[in-house]
């Protein structure tokens, strides 16, 4: 016999209760839960990255501080070494004034150069020595240069004069077996003769032979040996000595 569907019974009601049958549990939109998964994974990765960064930073910080201390100590040491070097450099500077005086004292020599003067009573020409300080290394040349320069103002007031022409040039000085070979410009024999030329040579010879290592003087003009000098033909062919 065919069953008869009761009035009011529908597909959504349970049998004999009249109540609506509960719906089966469902997730609603099946793609909703799936879309949240990448976001959660991304958040987790960010958190893990932050944790790793903090851990590495914590581990590096003591090493960095240690390195900073080492660098600081090196800088302090370098500064200390620099100060010590500067202090060491200053020590010679403090001694420089005294050392300079010693060098100056050693590099100078007091010498005599000879001028001439006319004696008041006899009216004869006499040689008179005066003192000069010259360079030790070139004392012969320096003495002749001072001789050519002539007497000072004070010495002129005392009547000292010179037969050496002020335009005379000393070209070279060399030693030869106890004799000083002096090479002059041609002005040595110009404008003088007789007593004046003889006094000129005496001034040179006496000035140079004051040194014990020099016994005589030989004269050349522009590097050439001359037999005579001046218009009167004064002989200078051999070594010249002091006239006693």
Identify the residue with better confidence: 13 or 197: 197
Residue 92 pLDDT grade (very low, low, confident, very high; cuts 50, 70, 90): very low
Is the model's pLDDT at 212 over the cut of 50? yes
Strand residues in 136-243 grouped as ranges (E): 170-176, 179-184, 216-221, 224-225, 228-229, 234-235
Name the residue with tokens 């939109």.
29
pLDDT, one tens digit per residue, over 150-187 is 999 999 999 999 999 999 999 999 999 999 999 999 99
Q: What confidence score (pLDDT) does residue 206 get? A: 97
pLDDT, one tens digit per residue, over 47-85 is 888 887 777 665 555 555 554 564 555 555 555 555 555
Q: What confidence score (pLDDT) does residue 9 get? A: 45
For 216-228, b where at least 16 C-beta lie within 10 A, e where not — what string? Answer: bbbbbbeeeebee
**Residue 121 DSSP SS3:** coil
Is the model's pLDDT at 120 over the cut of 50? yes
Residue 127 pLDDT grade (very low, low, confident, very high; cuts 50, 70, 90): very high
Is the model's pLDDT at 142 over the cut of 80? yes
User: DSSP alpha helices (H): ranges in 108-210?
Assistant: 139-149, 153-157, 194-208
Q: Which two tokens stand for residue 2?
A: 């065919």
What is the value of pTM for the model shown? 0.58
How many other CB atoms are there within 10 angstroms of residue 210's CB atom?
A: 15
Residue 216 pLDDT grade (very low, low, confident, very high; cuts 50, 70, 90): very high
Residue 198 pLDDT grade (very low, low, confident, very high; cuts 50, 70, 90): very high
Residue 106 pLDDT grade (very low, low, confident, very high; cuts 50, 70, 90): low
Question: Are 183 and 171 contacting, i.e. CB atoms less than 8 angstroms apart?
Answer: yes
Is the model's pLDDT at 22 over the cut of 80? no
The predicted model gives 103-109 an average pLDDT of: 70
Residue 219 pLDDT grade (very low, low, confident, very high; cuts 50, 70, 90): very high
């Amino acid at each position: 016999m065919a069953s008869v569907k009761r009035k009011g019974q529908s597909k959504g009601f349970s049998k004999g209760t009249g109540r609506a049958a509960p719906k089966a549990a469902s997730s609603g939109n099946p793609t909703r839960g799936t879309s949240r998964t990448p976001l959660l994974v991304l958040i987790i990765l960010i958190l893990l990255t932050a944790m790793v960064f903090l851990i590495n930073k914590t581990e590096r910080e003591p090493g960095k501080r240690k390195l900073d201390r080492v660098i600081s100590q090196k800088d302090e040491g370098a500064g200390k070494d620099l100060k010590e070097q500067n202090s060491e450099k200053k020590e010679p500077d403090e001694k420089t004034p005294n050392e300079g005086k010693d060098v100056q004292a050693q590099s100078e020599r007091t010498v005599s150069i000879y001028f001439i003067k006319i004696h008041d009573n006899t009216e004869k020409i006499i040689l008179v020595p005066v003192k000069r300080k010259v360079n030790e290394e070139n004392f012969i040349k320096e003495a002749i240069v001072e001789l050519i320069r002539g007497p000072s103002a004070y010495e002129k007031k005392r009547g000292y004069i010179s037969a050496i022409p002020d335009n005379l040039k000393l070209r070279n000085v060399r030693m030869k077996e106890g004799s000083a070979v002096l090479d002059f410009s041609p002005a040595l024999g110009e404008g003088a003769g007789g007593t004046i030329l003889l006094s000129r040579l005496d001034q040179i010879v006496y000035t140079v032979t004051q040194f014990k290592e020099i016994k005589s003087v030989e004269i050349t003009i522009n590097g050439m040996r001359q037999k005579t000098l001046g218009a009167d033909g004064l002989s200078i062919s051999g070594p010249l000595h002091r006239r006693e």
